[in-house]
Amino acid sequence: MDQGGGRRWRCLTRCQRGARGLSYPTDNVCEVIDLLELAPSVGADGILTVLPAKLDCLVDVPHPFPYQGSKRALAHAILRYLPDDTATLVEPFAGSAAISIAARYANVADRAVINDVNAPLMAMWRAIIDQPVELADQYEAMWQDSLEDPKAFFLAKRSEFNETNDPALLLYLLNRIVKGAVRYGKTGLFNQSADNRRLGAKPATVRERLVRTSKVMQGTDVHSGSYAPLLIDAGASDVVYMDPPYQGVTNVRDHRYMSGLAREDFEQALHKANDNNVSYVISYDVVREDNKYGEPIDSELGLTHLHVIAGRSAQSTLSGGSDVTVESLYLSPALVDRLGGIDHLIA
């Protein structure tokens, strides 16, 4: 795999970590530093902001639909932790399955298994993989019909979706809602509002997205159920990539998703996965410059904790803001062994 330009690793001393204002819950910490040309404004305020170097092999990777929390941008970092012999990339909290798509597109995994608790979402995924043209036709028909009164059309289609769970309706809603952010009310009904400034992506764009994604994801197993068996029973040459709901790894109800996730259950499943020598990567939380940071994962799991500095948004830079985003990744002991050990990672 092309590693992209200017990549280097280094281990930060405790002193350097303190100077960055980053606190680390484990000692087993490395930071991936992918040096690109830094915008002059970035270094000037004393904040080290480095962007993961883009992998050439991900140029033009397709994405099927807007989805809040998509890890498309992080794929450039995560693909580096997939060993060359990865057979199956398993994504139990798939959403828009950005990492599976990237892994298949870059040909670093032979196949993918995707799962999400959101059953209608996975039914839509089956349609994307098996019948992209039919799905694109349905989207096009809806998009055309919406032009007369887009607001009323959206509300009618949302009600219809809540009665039928039809995949084409979900695709239409995802293209119309605010920031691709799925929201369900207490009764489990989809209740997100439309972004009324937009009509949703043009039919030709959606068609291209679906057809290209379908091609990349042929042979993928699609499930809708618990993440646990997919994690615990993964094979020795597989890698499981998990992106559980943000801060939802608690019992607090998270309206962004259909279901919360009990942190204890999650850690218990991770222990079982460790017992089975499963290779896994977890995107756990997002660390920000203000040092707001979720509960660290149980240190007894022996995970290797990485911070990938995802940089500041263009908008923030323009407005003089400083919201540097650091993505937090955990690697399982079996995966670190497969990658040659921690010393090899930081060499």
Ligand X SMILES: C[S@@+](CC[C@H](N)C(=O)[O-])C[C@H]1O[C@@H](n2cnc3c(N)ncnc32)[C@H](O)[C@@H]1O
Determine the Cα–Cα distance for residues 254 and 147; give it in Å rounded to an integer.
33
Pick from 257, 280, 284, 330: which binds ligand X (CB under 6 A)?
Answer: 257
Question: From the CB of 94, what's the least distance to ligand X, in Å?
Answer: 6
- What dihedral do alpha carbons 338, 240, 8, 26 form, nearest 10°? -90
Pick from 24, 67, 125, 330: which binds ligand X (CB under 6 A)?
Answer: 67
172 is an interface residue for ligand X by CB under 6 A: no
Structure tokens at 163: 């009665």
Question: From the CB of 161, what's the least distance to ligand X, in Å?
Answer: 16
Pick from 55, 61, 117, 335: which binds ligand X (CB under 6 A)?
Answer: 117
267 and 295 in contact (C-beta within 8 Å)?
Answer: no
Determine the Cα–Cα distance for residues 129 and 211; give it in Å rounded to an integer.
8
Residues in the chain: 347
220 is an interface residue for ligand X by CB under 6 A: no
273 is an interface residue for ligand X by CB under 6 A: no
Pick from 20, 71, 111, 263: which binds ligand X (CB under 6 A)?
Answer: 71
Closest CB to ligand X among residues 115, 279: 115
CB atoms within 10 A of CB 234: 24
Closest CB to ligand X among residues 100, 146: 100
Instruction: Give the N- to C-terminal CA distance of the chain in Å, as an integer.
Output: 18
**75-114: which residues touch ligand X (CB under 6 A)?**
92-93, 95-96, 98
70 is an interface residue for ligand X by CB under 6 A: yes
Determine the Cα–Cα distance for residues 287 and 67; give it in Å rounded to an integer.
21
- What's the Cα-to-Cα distance from 170 to each of 206, 222, 260, rounded to whole Å? 13, 17, 21
Site size toward ligand X (CB under 6 A) is: 20
Q: Of 89, 128, 93, whose CA–CA distance to 246 is shortest?
A: 93
Closest CB to ligand X among residues 116, 238: 116
What is the bridge-based pairing of β-strands 88-91 and 111-115?
Answer: parallel
Residue nearest to ligand X (CB): 95
Determine the Cα–Cα distance for residues 344 and 239; give it in Å rounded to an integer.
19
Question: From the CB of 292, what's the least distance to ligand X, in Å?
Answer: 17
180 is an interface residue for ligand X by CB under 6 A: no
Question: From the CB of 21, what's the least distance to ligand X, in Å?
Answer: 25
DSSP-derived secondary structure letter, 109: S
258 is an interface residue for ligand X by CB under 6 A: yes
194 is an interface residue for ligand X by CB under 6 A: no
Binding residues for ligand X (CB under 6 A): 67, 69-71, 92-93, 95-96, 98, 116-118, 226-227, 243, 245, 257-259, 261
